Amino acid sequence: MSKRVGIVGAAVTPFKAKWNEKTYYELAQMATREVVKDAKISIKDVDSVFYGIYNDIFERTCIPEHALHGLIGMQNKFGTRISTGGATGAYTISAAHAYLAAGRFKTALVLGVEKCTDCFDFMSMSATPEVIKSIGWSGDSFFEQKLGWTAADSYAEVVLAYMDEFPKDLKPEVTAKISSLLSEYVKTNKYAQRQHDQVTPEEVMNSRLVVYPFKELEICVYTEGAAALILAEEETAKAISKNTGKPIVWITGLGEANEHSFAGKNQKIMPRIMSDYLGSQRAYKMAGIKDPKKSIDIVELHDAFVHQLEISMAEFGLVPRGKADSLIDDGLMLPGGKYLVNPCGGLIYSGHAVGASNIMSAWSARNELIKRKKKTALVHGTGSTIAQYTAICILEHD
């Protein structure tokens, strides 16, 4: 019989466009130091570590986790790395949960870190072209990458196909309103990259076009930072909770799915993010959720692009497909509405430190569940070519 697993500690470093003064080693150390402090334990009490690090090129080494193991005090203990694009953090939580639920370990450190702007392009004397090129290696290196594939192009394919099917959904004024709303939420997140970047819907709509239909203020920003969780099996979690005085947030449901990475017949269904749909259904089943609309209070989802945020909410069954604009039109995610969506500011305003992003989302969801005395949150990660990967975590606060 599998054991219950809960979150008993969580921490993030500040998310920044560039950490000039820190290596990724130091960012990992910062997050580790803060998370064991939050759980009121020593690193010596941690049995295992699961690293979420997306891109070797960002870290300038092919096995970026190898140097971290001893530096964070985990020498001679179990450690493994997960890399699944933008879903890296959520998949890392899932992997740690599996080991704890199986009884292999009593405690686990889930540690995500990314240092993307150590990449640098000496032709333009900026990081951006090299970062985008490094992400481009996540695509098909025989065909897509050589054509100049980017993450924005990839997600735009899905969004445009959805808009072909539902031409009255994803209206520009709605996507602009969602971005503006997230910019207001981020004001309370002192660790966010864009804490003080509040924008109006009009400013969003007037921002430059990046890839149709994405405007500059509707897309995530690349980020450097780290995030960490301490997970523990039930008896250990209860002991830690008693010592800290903080409630346990249980991981009650997990669901993952990886789609085909190419479009076409019997491959990727372009108007859908089937990985989101299948992953959420599997997570609901594990958590015993029959009607997510009645059960989910808080959603911390991977909003690489606002349009994808809307489609993902529909794939989760929280709004109807073809009527995702009801998030704003019917007030479902407005203050006081049915769902609290990305209260941390999401990846657009908090920042997208890829391997750490979904772990940061879990940190935020845990905080909000405890602070607001809510019961259930959904944490989501998606990534790779045309939203191929998805991992979903259901968190519940007793």
Nearest to 364 by CA among 354, 353, 375, 378: 378
Instruction: Quickly state the pLDDT bin for 398 (edges 50, 70, 90).
Output: confident
- Residue 365 neighbours by CB under 8 Å, 6+ apart: 249, 298, 300, 377, 378, 379, 395
d(CA 171, CA 185): 22
Instruction: Quickly state the pLDDT bin for 140 (edges 50, 70, 90).
Output: confident
Instruction: Quickly state the pLDDT bin for 143 (edges 50, 70, 90).
Output: confident
pLDDT at 58: 80
pLDDT at 4: 97
Nearest to 65 by CA among 23, 113, 20: 113
- In Å, what is the CA distance from 1 to each residue of 103, 203, 398? 9, 54, 21
d(CA 366, CA 38): 13
Quote the pTM value.
Answer: 0.95
Digit-coded pLDDT (tens) for 57-87: 788 888 999 999 999 999 999 999 999 989 9
What value does the mean pLDDT take over residues 132-156?
76
Phi, psi of 52 (to 5 degrees): -105, 100
Digit-coded pLDDT (tens) for 27-56: 999 999 999 999 999 999 999 999 999 888
Q: Write down the domain spans for the chain.
A: 5-119+222-244
Residue 151 has pLDDT above 90, yes or no: no
- Residue 264 neighbours by CB under 8 Å, 6+ apart: none
- Chain centroid to Cα 235, Å, comes to 28
Higher-pLDDT residue of 133, 59:
59
Rg (CA), the chain: 20
Instruction: Quickly state the pLDDT bin for 265 (edges 50, 70, 90).
Output: low
Helices assigned H by DSSP within 6-64: 24-39, 56-59
What value does the mean pLDDT take over residues 81-107?
97
pLDDT at 264: 63
pLDDT at 263: 65
Digit-coded pLDDT (tens) for 200-239: 999 999 999 999 999 999 999 989 999 999 999 999 999 9
Tell which CATH architecture fits domain 5-119+222-244.
Answer: 3-Layer(aba) Sandwich (3.40)
**Cβ atoms 113, 358 nearer than 8 A:** no
Instruction: Quickly state the pLDDT bin for 307 (edges 50, 70, 90).
Output: very high
